[in-house]
Structure 1
Amino acid sequence: MSKKAIVLQTTLELITKQGIRATSLSQIIKTSGVANGTLYHHFKNKEEIISELYLMLSQDFGTVVMRNLPEEDTKKQFAIMWQNLFYYFVNNPLAFIFSEQIARSPEIPTSLKNQARQYYKDIEAFFRETIRKKEFKAYDILVMEELFFGNVVSLVKLYENKGGNLKERCINQAIEISWKGFLKKAE
């Protein structure tokens, strides 16, 4: 792992454990084991580390959600998108905590959140296309994305509360409920 990657990983671990404000640059340096000069070679300050981490994880979310989608079937695409995000969060608990506690906090500037939207263009395009094809109701795209995300997050929390013991049937039910909430016509 590169020194830059070590700094980013250490920062992720620290801020998910104790928050952005409680995590100091000196603590990042000490915990990462990276020399001052090396850290400053890659980053000007803590804010730059947080920004890069935020954008990196946003890009991961956007990429993971759209992975391995079939060409045509919208319902299958939706289910795979849903499962992709669910299993990404289950298998990457720090990314899940970051997305829930840090990414949505007021400590992340709106300008950075707006910059990260570029990584969700394919997700946005999916919802726009389903509306255009009159498969989904014509809701605000941002609301649709947030509700999609929120449904996945709710099930990840249930999964965690059950100690990782959640039947596939429950996951499929959650996907079906989420799907039906967006549909223009009932199935």
Structure 2
Amino acid sequence: MSKKAIVLQTTLELITTQGINATSLSQIIKESGVANGTVYHHFKNKEEIITELYLMLTQDFGTVVMRNTDQGDYKKQFSTMWMNLFHYFVNNPLAFVFSEQIARSPEIPQSLKDRARKYFSEIELYFRNGIRDKVFKSYNTMVMEELFFGNVVSIVKIHENEKVTLQEKHLQQAIEISWRGFVKE
């Protein structure tokens, strides 16, 4: 792992356990074991580290959601997108905590959130095309994206917090319930 990656990983670990404000640059340097000069070679300050981390994880989310989604059958794509995000969050608990606690916090400036929207363009296009093709109800696509993510997050929370072993049938039920909220009847 590169020194830059070590700094980003350490920052992710620290801010997901103690928050952005409670995490100092000196703590990031100390915990990462990377020399001051090396950190400053890659980043000017803590805000720049947070920005890169935020953009990196946002890009991950957007890429992971759309992985292996063949064009055509909207319901099959929806199910694949849903399961992609579910498994990503289950297998990457720090990314899950980051998306829930940090990415949505007021500590992340709106300008950065706006900048990161480009990573969700394929997801937005999926919903936009579904509306155009009269598969989905005509809702605001950003609302649709947030509700889609929210549905997955709720099931991940059950899986993580309740220590419930969700069976495949439970996941399929959750996908079906979520799907019905979007699809035209």
TM-score of Structure 1 vs Structure 2, range by shorter chain: over 0.9
Task: Supply the distance in 1 between the matched residues of 2:74 and 2:58 (Cα, whole angstroms).
Answer: 24
3-state SS of the aligned residue for 1:111? helix
Q: TM-score, normalised by structure 2?
A: 0.99
Query: Which consecutive residues of structure 2, in runs of 5 or more, have no partner in the other structure?
Result: none
TM alignment of 1:28-177, pairs within 5 A: 28-163=28-163, 165-177=165-177
Matched to 1:85, the amino acid is: L
3-state SS of the aligned residue for 2:70? coil
Task: Give the alignment's Cα RMSD to 1 decimal.
Answer: 0.7
Structure 2 counterpart of 1:21: 21
Task: Supply the distance in 1 between the matched residues of 2:126 and 2:73 (Cα, whole angstroms).
Answer: 12
Matched to 1:17, the amino acid is: T
Query: Which consecutive residues of structure 1, in runs of 5 or more, have no partner in the other structure?
Result: none
The runs of 4+ residues in structure 1 deviating greater than 4 Å are none
Q: Which has the higher mean CA deviation after the structures are superposed, 77-86 or 160-169?
A: 160-169
Distance apart, 1:72 and its partner CA: 1.4
Distance apart, 1:64 and its partner CA: 0.1
Distance apart, 1:162 and its partner CA: 3.5
Task: Supply the distance in 2 between the matched residues of 1:162 and 1:99 (Cα, whole angstroms).
Answer: 19
Task: Supply the distance in 1 between the matched residues of 2:134 and 2:71 (Cα, whole angstroms).
Answer: 18
- How many residues end up aligned between the 2 structures? 185
Task: Supply the distance in 1 between the matched residues of 2:31 and 2:134 (Cα, whole angstroms).
Answer: 52
Task: Supply the distance in 2 between the matched residues of 1:18 and 1:65 (Cα, whole angstroms).
Answer: 28
Distance apart, 1:164 and its partner CA: 5.2
Task: Supply the distance in 2 between the matched residues of 1:117 and 1:164 (Cα, whole angstroms).
Answer: 33
Matched to 2:79, the amino acid is: A
Q: Which has the higher mean CA deviation after the structures are superposed, 80-89 or 159-168?
A: 159-168
Distance apart, 1:82 and its partner CA: 0.3
Matched to 2:52, the amino acid is: E
Q: Which has the higher mean CA deviation after the structures are superposed, 161-170 or 110-119?
A: 161-170
- Map Cα deviations across residues 83-129 of structure 1 (whole Å, 9 max, x no partner): 00000000000000000000000000000000000100000000000
Distance apart, 1:16 and its partner CA: 0.1
